[in-house]
A and B are shown apart, each in its own frame.
Chain A
Amino acid sequence: MLNHEEELNLANKARLGDSEAFATLYNANIKKIYDFIYFKTLNKELAEDLVSQVFLKVLKNIGQFKSDNFAAWLYTIARNTIIDYYRSNRETKNIEDCWDLSDGVNLTDNVDDNLNLEKIKEAMKSLSVSDRELLIMRLWLDLPFKEIALNLNKKEAAVKVSFGRALNRLRGKVTPALFLLISLSIYAKR
């Protein structure tokens, strides 16, 4: 795993045409960005298509890279690529990821089968995009807060507070009946 300085150094080399630097950046980030996109689309083929678009954009635009934070730049491209996809494929324009699909659309039609995901679907859908993204980054991508802060271009302390609030809001959305179901399902498998 590359640290922030190494990544920035490689990005600057890639900006100047170093293909090995680009390949190293690609290797370090492809799975993280693919997973990030998958968690926002829940569809393998779509995630592969969008991650291809993301790295093509990176390739085409690295020459203009002037930021001091490559990770934030990369995640912004990924986020915008997902938003562009949903907004160009839906009549409703306020969709930013698959979790924003309206109640009339069955999420599981678009999602690879996952019963646990089905249980938490409604609670996740009721959260804001930024709340969902924080929970996904910390609990699904397993990123430490320091890295999440870099990806979001925010202070680590602020990210921790936002995560706490997001988890608390999720707690408020999960009903006691669901908690019972979850407990039974978790403890039955132990």
Chain B
Amino acid sequence: MQKDKLDLILEELYAWNPELKNKEAELIKLIELMVKSKPDTKFDEAFSEALKKDLLSHRILLDNDDGLKNNNFYLI
């Protein structure tokens, strides 16, 4: 974890509870553990683009003024 991020989190914690400074070593380990445990979400850009294309291709632009009053996006 980047040191500045860790420092910021610790600073925020101490602002809330200054007594936590006594537990600094333990907190650093815990925060590092959490960050190291962060799962790789495997975000797929191709999936994202395909979903956007799908969503936009399924919408019909409002075809009359009544659409403005209610739900302008709907599925075909």
Q: Count chain A CB atoms within 10 A of each CB in B37, B61, B71 and give the residue with the most.
A: B37
Closest chain A residue, CB of each to CB of B63: A17
Report chain A residues within 8 Å CB of B26. 171, 179
Category for how many chain A residues contact B: 35 or more
Closest chain B residue, CB of each to CB of A189: B36
Q: How far is the CA of A73 from the CA of B25 in the complex (A)?
A: 38
The DSSP consensus for interface residues of chain A is helix
Pick the contact of A170: B12, B30, B35, B44 (CB < 8 A): B30
Segment 35-86 of A: residues with Cβ below 8 Å from B: 35, 38-39, 42, 44, 47-48, 51-52, 55-56, 59-64
What are 29 A-B contacts defined by CB distance under 8 Å? A15-B72, A17-B62, A19-B56, A19-B59, A19-B61, A22-B55, A22-B73, A38-B41, A48-B44, A60-B71, A60-B74, A61-B71, A63-B73, A64-B70, A111-B39, A117-B39, A119-B33, A119-B37, A138-B9, A139-B35, A139-B38, A142-B5, A145-B12, A164-B17, A164-B20, A170-B30, A170-B34, A182-B32, A185-B36
